[in-house]
Amino acid sequence: MIAVYHFTERTPHPVAQNAYYVVDLFFCLSGFVIARAYADQIRKRDMRFAAYLGRRLIRLYPMFALGLLLGTAALLVAQAEGRTSYSAGQILAAAATNLVYLPFPNQGSLDLGGTPIMAPMFPANTPAWSLMFELVINLVFFVLWRFGQVSVRFLLAMLAAGAVLVFMCVLIQTGSIGWRFDAFDIMAGLVRTLYGFSAGVLIARLPLARWQRTTQAALGILLMLLTVALCFLPATGIAFLAAIAIVPLIVYGGAGISFNGPVFRWMGRLSYPLYCIHFPVVVLVTVTGWITTPSGLLLAGLFCLAAATALAVGVEEPLIRGLKARLLPPDRSDPA
C-alpha cells in the first residue's frame, strides 16, 4: 500500500492516500515480534547487548543500505536533470551520513511531478526515516527490558505518545509526519515509533486468542480487507488517527492466525526489500519522465515486485544466513 501510494501520489489519481498509517502498523508489529522473540532472553540476561544489536543490524542493515545506495544513484540522476536543489557533493554527504543511521541536516528539495519534497532526513530514500527510528526503539527496548518486565511503562509510553499524536495531527491535519529534518517532524517520528512499538510490546504480553481454523480464515480475510480499506480514507489527520487507533486490534487479531500458503510466505519475504527499494525507483522513473501513463505506473510497480523478490531470495536471505553463521552464535528463537 505504501508503494502504491508513492507511485501514484503525484498523478491525477492518487491511490491509498492514508497509507501513512501502515508505517505505524509496521512499528506495532515490530514491537510484538521483538518482545516475543527477545524479552525473556533479555530479562534473564541470556543475551548480551552486543549479540542483540548484531542480530538487529544483520536483519535491518543490508536492505537499508542497498535502498540508500539506489536512492543516491537516483538522486544524482535528478541532479543531472535539474530536478533537485542538492549538489552532487551534498548528495554524497547525505549518503555518507544516512548510511550510519543518522539524519542529514538540510533544507534541500526534490521536485517530483511539480510538488517538491522538502528537507527529508534521508534525501536519497525518504521512507528510510522509519528504519532509523526502528533501530532506535529496538535499542531502547533492550535497555528498558533488561531491568525487568516493564509493561506498565510501555502502557504509559503508548498513551502519552498517542496523546501527542492526536495534538500533532489535529494541528496540521495530515498523517504525513516524521520524515522531514525539522524539530516538529523529528518529534513526530519519535512519538509515532513509541506509540506503535509500545502497543506491540503490550500485545505480546497478552494471552493470544486461539481461533478455530474456519474462524481464522474469515478473520484473516476481514483484517486484510480492513488494513487495505483504511489506506483509502482521506489524507487527513482525523483519518490517520482513526487508522492508528485500530492498528493494535489488527495486530492482536492477526497474532492468533496462521496462514502458511506460498502466497503469504512470498508476501512476507518481499515486503522489507520492497519497502527499501520502491522509492528510489519512483524517483528515477519520475525525474526521467519514464512514467507518463497508467500503464507505465503498472510496469514500474511490477518491476519493483520482481526486483524485491529477487533481492529477498538471491541477496538478503543468503547474506543474513552467512553473516549470522560467521558472526553470531545460533539462536533458535530469532524470527529473522
Average predicted confidence (pLDDT) for the chain: 90
Residue 333 lies in a domain: no
Complete DSSP assignment for 122-166 = STT-GGGHHHHHHHHHHHHHHHHHHTS--HHHHHHHHHHHHHHHH
Residue 332 lies in a domain: no
pLDDT of residue 292: 65
Complete DSSP assignment for 156-213 = HHHHHHHHHHHHHHHHH--S--S-BSSHHHHHHHHHHHHHHHHHHHHHHTSPPP---H
Measured distance between the N- and C-terminal CA atoms of the chain, rounded to whole angstroms: 23
Cell numbers representing residue 79 in the block: 541532479
**Can you tell me the mean pLDDT for 108-116?**
86
**Can you tell me the mean pLDDT for 182-208?**
91
pLDDT of residue 304: 92
Identity of the amino acid at 144:
L
Handedness of CA 312, 319, 57, 158 (dihedral sign): positive
Residue 334 lies in a domain: no
**Can you tell me the mean pLDDT for 24-51?**
92
Please give the residue range of the domain that contains residue 184.
2-327
Residue 155 lies in a domain: yes
Under DSSP, is residue 43 helix (H, G, I), strand (E, B) or coil?
helix
Phi/psi at 99 (5° precision): -65, -15
| Domain tally, the chain | 1
Cell numbers representing residue 301 in the block: 510497480
Phi/psi at 297 (5° precision): -60, -45
Residue 192 lies in a domain: yes
Please, are residues 71 and 283 in contact by the beta-carbon 8 Å criterion? yes
The contacts found for 5-13 with CB under 8 angstroms, 24 or more apart, are: 5/231, 6/127, 6/278, 6/279, 6/282, 7/278, 7/282, 7/291, 7/297, 7/300, 7/301, 8/297, 10/112, 10/113, 10/114, 10/115, 10/286, 11/113, 11/297
Please, are residues 308 and 273 in contact by the beta-carbon 8 Å criterion? yes
Write out pLDDT tens, residues 268-313.
Answer: 899 999 999 999 999 998 888 776 677 777 788 889 999 999 999 9
Tell which wins on pLDDT, 16 or 332. 16
pLDDT of residue 261: 82
pLDDT of residue 149: 62
Q: How is residue 118 annotated by DSSP?
A: E
Residue 222 lies in a domain: yes
Cell numbers representing residue 146 in the block: 533488561
Q: How many CB atoms lie within 10 A of CB 220?
A: 18
Q: Give the distance, in angstroms, between the CA of residue 199 and the centroid of all CA atoms in the same chain.
A: 16
In this model, does residue 333 exceed pLDDT 60?
Answer: no
pLDDT of residue 256: 85
The CA angle 277-168-131, to the nearest 5 degrees, is: 25
Residue 122 binned pLDDT confidence (cut-offs 50, 70, 90): very high
Cell numbers representing residue 136 in the block: 532506535
